[in-house]
Structure 1
Amino acid sequence: MSRGGGLRQRVKTARGRTAASTRWLERQLNDPYVRRAKADGYRSRAAYKLLELDERFALLKGRRRVVDLGIAPGGWSQVVRRRLPQAEVVGIDLLPVDPIDGVTIFQLDFMADEAPERLTAALGGAPDLVLSDMAANTVGHPQTDALRTMALVEAALAFACDVLAPGGTFVAKVFAGGADSTLVAEMKRNFATVKHAKPPASRKGSVEWFVVAQGFKGRTEGA
């Protein structure tokens, strides 16, 4: 990416705005990925994380049915639609999400009993890619935040193993250090390869990483 773009913008602390929110706004204004997302028509800078992961792992190659867990605000599904215009794409989130052309969106908890059936029905079959850019709401305590997000990853993995077609891929956001050993072992039981990655679009100061599990082995009898 170009290093150009003018001088760094500073934001004055306004009445009613905390120092933390001022720093966040300043970071947004000076983030080249934020500017690029606006120029490219993506809803968030997170779109480039998926693009960079796809460049490394070929996540989207040949995919026909895709589930986007925690779709809000929709940047990842926008990438999928642009890369795979013929694919069926379904997103799900507790939050309302503005429509995306070609994407079926459910405002629903993905852990609800009816969610897997509704999503696969909308796709017309089992997905071959399950994406999760979800993270639990933080409480400011690093260990607690990591545990809450890991529980969300475990739930997303269970969902993926319930719905994925054989050979499918699961991608999820995790915190620094990656998925814990128990979770990695579970992924390795169910997938041919499991790797961690931090795409360049992920801010250097961020604790987020992504786990990429490819080659789903399929559900075993009695599972």
Structure 2
Amino acid sequence: MANSKALGTGGRKSDKDLKIRVKTAKGRKVASTKWLERQLNDPYVARARAEGYRSRAAFKIKEMDEKHKFFKKGMRVVDLGAAPGGWSQVAAQAVGSTIANPLVVGIDYLDMDPVPGVILFKKDFTEDDAPQMLIEAMGGHGVDVVMSDMAWPTTGHRPTDHLRIVHLIEIAAEFAIQVLNPGGVFIAKVFQGGTEHELLHMLKRHFKTTIHVKPPSSRKDSAEAYLVAKGFNGGRSAEGE
């Protein structure tokens, strides 16, 4: 009779022992090796591959939607900083966007493979004509969800990086206020240091609720979180009501 060890039922190694370790190859930096090792051991990376999503980031928007319920069938969605397309994939599935009736529009300056049911633009959203391109792609219809996973490449200088991400949130929020239907939702990536008080105050004037969220799939050692503003009031400020 085969012993239990031969059958794999005895002497079981712990999850820590089973962790994939990557040796530093010639010409590869230590940081790159650590990133590769983390990717290979990340369960969300494996899930994304198994479920056909472009990246693990797809689970961030899925988890936020499961908790806060901002996607519904027939809604129109704009995805800012869409590459590689995971958020657009999730949104298209959730709202029922199809090639014949696309309800999702995405934009990024990086290359992206086509996403079924999504109109994609390769363009920097900070360019002056980018917002109008998105509006025209929506055929004049209002938008129900504006989501932004935009982020500048980090400089390593935290105050500078913070100001740069706040600037992206500001222009994304201004666009959202311009295009959202009443009751609409705005979602944007933020980083440690929070949202500037002036920006947060502006959003609170235009949305019923504004909260910060860190979905389970966001790595614990990451400084990122997400700002979720729900219940757009149609552009009416608190002072004007």
* Class of the TM-score when normalised by the shorter of the 2 chains: over 0.9
Structure 2 counterpart of 1:170, which letter? F
Counterpart CA distance in 2 for 1:209 and 1:149 is: 12
Residue 232 of structure 2 corresponds to 216
Residue 171 of structure 2 corresponds to 155
Residue 101 of structure 1: which of 109, 116, 128 is its match?
A: 116
Residue 190 of structure 1 corresponds to 206
Secondary structure in structure 2 of the residue aligned to 1:167: strand
Gaps of at least 5 residues in structure 2 are 1-13
TM-score by length of 2: 0.86
- Asked if 1:119 corresponds to 2:134, the answer is yes
Counterpart CA distance in 1 for 2:41 and 2:183 is: 40
Counterpart CA distance in 2 for 1:41 and 1:62 is: 21
Identical columns (%): 54
Post-superposition Cα deviations, 1:137-173, rounded to whole Å, max 9, x if no partner, equal: 1011222211111111111111111111121110000
Structure 1 counterpart of 2:18, which letter? L
Deviates further, 211-220 or 99-108 = 211-220
Secondary structure in structure 2 of the residue aligned to 1:96: coil
TM-score by length of 1: 0.92
Secondary structure in structure 2 of the residue aligned to 1:43: coil
Secondary structure in structure 2 of the residue aligned to 1:173: strand
Post-superposition Cα deviations, 1:57-94, rounded to whole Å, max 9, x if no partner, equal: 10113451100001000000011112222460000111
Structure 1 counterpart of 2:184, which letter? G
- Asked if 1:13 corresponds to 2:29, the answer is no
Preserved contact between residue 73 and residue 94 of structure 2 (Cα < 8 Å): no
Structure 1 counterpart of 2:215, which letter? P
Counterpart CA distance in 2 for 1:62 and 1:170 is: 17
Structure 2 counterpart of 1:172, which letter? A
Per-residue deviation at 1:115?
Answer: 2.4
Preserved contact between residue 116 and residue 163 of structure 1 (Cα < 8 Å): no
- Asked if 1:140 corresponds to 2:156, the answer is yes
